Structure 1
Amino acid sequence: MSSPDVAVPGAPAVPHGPVTVLDTREAYLDAVRRIAEGTGPVAVDAERASGFRYSQRAYLIQVYRRDAGTFLFDPPPIGSFDELDDVLRNEEWVLHAASQDLACLREVGLDPARIFDTELAARLLGLAKVGLGSVVQELLGIHLAKEHSAADWSTRPLPQAWLVYAALDVELLVDLRDVMTQLLTEQGKTAIAAQEFDAVLNREVKAVRAEPWRRLSGVHAVRGGRNLAVARALWEARDEYAREVDTSPGRLIPDSSLVAVARNLPATKKDLAGMREFTGRASRSQIDRWWNAIEAGLASEDLPNLRGTGESIPPPRSWPERNPEADKRLKTARPAIAEVAEDLNLPVENLLTPEFLRRVAWQPPEPLTADGIASFLEDLGARAWQIDATAQVIADAFVEAAQTPEAAHEAGS
């Protein structure tokens, strides 16, 4: 626990008092009692070990509430956080980039009913930079160092400097929320923000990708079904081992090494071990595992489709040849949407998800009307305010695209 008095406006952050981690059920339950006696919204953050561990579990959870203080919890020894969830269930939770933390918070039993996302609010307010440090500097006049954001939070014991950093991540969030609430009101965006926060909170968990191995960076350079089968087998072998040892896959064997092997197909295990491009701390210690994967890929009768599963529409750069009408629609609608975003002082991607615009441009509803566009966007997951701001604009742009000289010439040919 620590004191929330960490900085003064207009000056660098002042030295922070010692921070301790609560790692027993007794200490946790005492903290729950104290948090229950606090007042107002509760600031919450979680630290994972992304890039170090396979899992995305929380290795530290920070909570701050006025009149209670700051509490840092060590989730593994504490286990369930159901008691804290019961206390805070109906309170407003303040998080920065909530979508990054909700999954690991829910994993331990922390599931808010109402949130305020300061990162998303910064986007809606049109701030140029939306990282927590930048937003705190601009709106509170406080310098917030972010040097430990990419640390391995599974480290034990956690260094005191990291704990201070973690405490500061929540101790300013409620003040930030108060300032942002006022600014959202002044810009007439309170209702928009409420819809966006609710969308983040209720967003469905993404379905597991049909072919997750295609996320392999550089796999587009692998030619031939047999080579792709080897790439798939290597990715699956690495993923299985990474899960087994709870280590980020890329720290075992980098993507570039798997791609190099799939492209060059070594003839023997010795050739594999001799490849300069085949690197990583598990490249030689698990050489049998990788060679078995190569042999499995070479023997596979289920060769991957060269173009993938078709889960997404083609990239826009291919549209002029593959779907020229869609290309015209997209190129006409984009500047129109950008103009609306500028008028609202919003980033274009927050006004409307770019993928939504691409999908409706690729195959728009028939007949082409604003209501049809609105229904299409709603099915994709667009919020009501986004649909109100863009459906008519998109419909008008698509009609304009169909009336261009090029489109008229093609229609008559």
Structure 2
Amino acid sequence: MAEPCGTAHDPPGQIDLDEITQKAHKLLQEAIVKSNKLPRDLSWKLYASHRHFRNATDQVSKNTIVLSNYLINHDYPKQANFKNGEIENNLEKLMDINNDELDKVKLKIEKVKNGDNHTNEQIFNKPIVNPFMTFRRNNTLSLLPDSNTVMPQINFKDKIDNTNSLWQPIIKYKPNNIQPLQVQLEVDDDGNDLGYTHPYQIELDLYEPPKHFLEEDDQPLEFPPPIESTKFTYVDTIKQLQNLVDELHLADEIAVDLEHHSYYSYQGYTCLVQISIANQDFVIDALKLREHLHLLNESFTNPKKLKVFHGACNDIRWLQRDFGVYVVGMFDTYEASLVLNFKGKKLLDLLKRFCNVETDKRYQMADWQIRPLPSEMILYARRDTHYLIYIWREMKKLLLRDPNGMNLRQVFENSKRICLYKYMKPKFTQSSYLELYNRSNKTFNSRQLAAFKLLFKWRDNQARTADRSVEYIMNNSILFKLSEELPGDTETALRCCQGANPTLKNHLVMILPILISCRDLPLEPTLYHTPASIMSALEHVEQENQSEMLHAFSSDVTKQEESLTTLAPYVPTPDILASISSTLAQNIYRRRFLPPYERYKFYRNLLRKEYFGKLINYIQGSDQSTDQPAKSNKEDAAYKVNSEPYLQLKLTNPASNDNGEGPSCSGIRNQQANVTGN
């Protein structure tokens, strides 16, 4: 077997630590992505009921145990006794081994940094920083720990407001205006605040792309020169920024992109602004020049200049939030890829398609707040805008091939809609936790759901106060694990918090009382009773569905749009009424074992009875002079099910269901028209 890189047999000068680290991180990311796609919880139990899936997973588990024992048997012969099926014990052993290895890495790094004059005792007295935290911040840059995390927002002149109050635009002057600057508060009919008006609402509503942007180019644009031979300026002084503003005054097409950071901030902040014009690239240090970047408004709001973005939904909001910068006149290459129906719509796909350029996306989630920026990250940032103007020109050619000539205008309209986006601060409500809970595959009982709601609120409060992301305070996996297991002591809670930052472990004294209080709550049944917090949301949806159904009933009677209060109620014919009643009776009197899907249809039909019950009672009570009393015995119910109107409705009406679920609403209306016509 080949020796791995970095063994004792390799010459010291040939060991490439960065290359080894990059490969390891790439493999780790791929493993995490693939593992997240595996079924969990109830889905896992369903898959495990199939023999082939169970055999495959058992074999993978055995191979993993054998390989793990082989890899660490040399350094940890006692702890490497992993056994198949003992998940908890294996996980604890693996965590211990990882912690030991990380401590060794820490010691070696400290020795390299401090020299051999320091003793092991002096090294051990220093705080140990998990290198993987640095990997999460810097992505694939380095494993070197950074124990002194600097918060750039401390030096911002504008105060960071993480409260639940509305965000107010920070723009102070309005260049290229049609209407003078005025920002007003918007409210709904109930007096609730909706936010502030868009400062460039009028300008965007009246925007029309210049004629030469809507027509074919007289001369094709030359392919951009290589990045290495293109003039580049790293802008980190006011003088350099002013020179950039002067260059933008002379340009007609401007490519723009932003690099953002949100892990060490609740709302996040822009770290870099990349700009490319003809044969020049600029990278602006947005942390250092944050309060001066409003100067970009002179060109960014000029309707005669085209600003080219890719996927600008977030960029537009970040420019408003951090610099008070707005965009008038934009072409979004992502929106163009949607109109052109490209299979690959990411920027790396467009670079490959139009420029034959392979881009390395390993720095996509890197920590852009670090200074000084490595040359590799600067090169990555430049590549995002270097080819963007050429790509927009090539996409314009494809859009102009539309025989109707509307594709290009459609992209401009979609881009203008994005420019109208307004930044809104993250708002916490009593039902905010439901969004995260509904996205998961978890099914919590009332105690677990109460703990999840309280921990979600506690995490949000802590993140706002410390100006950190909620993921930094407590990641989602730990949030779900604490809520699911409801630990009642510190030791159990610590096991649930494996992999968390030390800050969370220090806050266990605040978290444990929350969990213990939820353990003492009465356990509500989950099969027939839904917690009140979720019922409020479901009732709102149910009311909307009922309104839509009433409107559907009445629309066929009037054949015109009228207010719902003036419409006559829909009155089905006796034959249609008999078919509805018989279908319900058939399901109610069913007395045999039902498979899961049949049981689902059975309960669904019972719910339909609730919707139709009041309508049927109303009709029978108001028209007793013409209708005969309904028969309620089983024989008559079976006779009605097999009666001709129901069979005719089921066989001839394409809108009805073919799986025995009964006629749909549209099928009932069509059948009524047939009966009335006859």
TM-score of the two chains, using structure 1 as the length reference: 0.68
Q: Which residue pairs with 2:31 in the alignment?
A: none
For the residue of structure 1 that corresponds to 2:254, the secondary structure is strand
* Equivalent in 307, 312, 319 of residue 98 of structure 1: 312
Question: Cα–Cα, structure 1 residues 294 and 278, in superposed 2: closer, same or farther, change >3 Å?
Answer: farther
Residues 400 and 408 of structure 2 are in contact (CA less than 8 Å); yes or no, is this contact kept in structure 1? yes
Structure with bigger gyration radius:
2
Superposed CA offset, 1:86-107 (max 9, x none): 2331122110001021111112
**1:235-274 pair list within 5 angstroms:** 235-273=456-494
Q: Structure 2 counterpart of 1:165, which letter?
A: Y
Residues 352 and 358 of structure 2 are in contact (CA less than 8 Å); yes or no, is this contact kept in structure 1? yes
Query: Are 2:48 and 1:48 equivalent residues in the alignment?
Result: no
Identity %: 19
Q: Which residue pairs with 2:663 in the alignment?
A: 407
Superposed CA offset, 1:228-274 (max 9, x none): 2221221222223333444432244221221222122222344423x
Between the aligned partners of 2:464 and 2:482, the Cα distance in structure 1 is 22
Q: Which residue pairs with 1:178 in the alignment?
A: 393
Residues 9 and 142 of structure 1 are in contact (CA less than 8 Å); yes or no, is this contact kept in structure 2? no
Query: How far did 1:149 drift?
Result: 1.1
Please, which moves more after superposition, 214-223 or 250-259?
Answer: 214-223
Between the aligned partners of 1:305 and 1:26, the Cα distance in structure 2 is 56
Between the aligned partners of 2:295 and 2:266, the Cα distance in structure 1 is 28
Question: Cα–Cα, structure 1 residues 163 and 401, in superposed 2: closer, same or farther, change >3 Å?
Answer: farther
Q: Which residue pairs with 2:555 in the alignment?
A: 367
Superposed CA offset, 1:326-346 (max 9, x none): 9xxxxxxxxxxxxxxxxxxxx
**1:12-23 pair list within 5 angstroms:** 15=228, 21-23=234-236
For the residue of structure 2 that corresponds to 1:288, the secondary structure is helix
Q: Which residue pairs with 2:507 in the alignment?
A: 286
Please, which moves more after superposition, 115-124 or 13-22?
Answer: 13-22
Superposed CA offset, 1:164-216 (max 9, x none): 11011111111111111111111241222122112222245578474222233
Residues 60 and 72 of structure 1 are in contact (CA less than 8 Å); yes or no, is this contact kept in structure 2? yes
Residues 48 and 59 of structure 1 are in contact (CA less than 8 Å); yes or no, is this contact kept in structure 2? yes
Q: Structure 2 counterpart of 1:21, which letter?
A: Y
Q: Which residue pairs with 2:246 in the alignment?
A: 33
Superposed CA offset, 1:17-69 (max 9, x none): 79653223232222212222x321211110012456433321111111226x2
Q: Which residue pairs with 2:363 in the alignment?
A: 148
Q: Which has the higher contact order (CA 8 A, sep 6+)?
A: 1
Residues 105 and 111 of structure 1 are in contact (CA less than 8 Å); yes or no, is this contact kept in structure 2? yes
Between the aligned partners of 1:266 and 1:156, the Cα distance in structure 2 is 41
Q: Which residue pairs with 2:351 in the alignment?
A: 136
Query: Are 2:421 and 1:165 equivalent residues in the alignment?
Result: no
Q: Which residue pairs with 1:116 in the alignment?
A: 331
For the residue of structure 2 that corresponds to 1:280, the secondary structure is coil
Q: Which residue pairs with 1:221 in the alignment?
A: 442
Between the aligned partners of 1:290 and 1:20, the Cα distance in structure 2 is 49
Q: How many aligned positions are there?
A: 333
Superposed CA offset, 1:112-162 (max 9, x none): 012100111112111110111111211233333333111111222211110
Question: Cα–Cα, structure 1 residues 94 and 266, in superposed 2: closer, same or farther, change >3 Å?
Answer: same
Q: Which residue pairs with 2:286 in the alignment?
A: 75
Query: Are 2:432 and 1:212 equivalent residues in the alignment?
Result: yes
Unaligned runs of 5+ in 1: 1-7, 315-322, 327-358, 373-399
Q: Which residue pairs with 1:3 in the alignment?
A: none
For the residue of structure 1 that corresponds to 2:261, the secondary structure is coil
Between the aligned partners of 2:224 and 2:295, the Cα distance in structure 1 is 38
Query: How far did 1:294 drift?
Result: 3.4
Q: Structure 2 counterpart of 1:309, which letter?
A: A
Unaligned runs of 5+ in 2: 1-221, 523-530, 562-652, 673-678
Between the aligned partners of 1:16 and 1:279, the Cα distance in structure 2 is 45
Between the aligned partners of 2:453 and 2:370, the Cα distance in structure 1 is 32
For the residue of structure 2 that corresponds to 1:77, the secondary structure is coil
Residues 263 and 472 of structure 2 are in contact (CA less than 8 Å); yes or no, is this contact kept in structure 1? yes
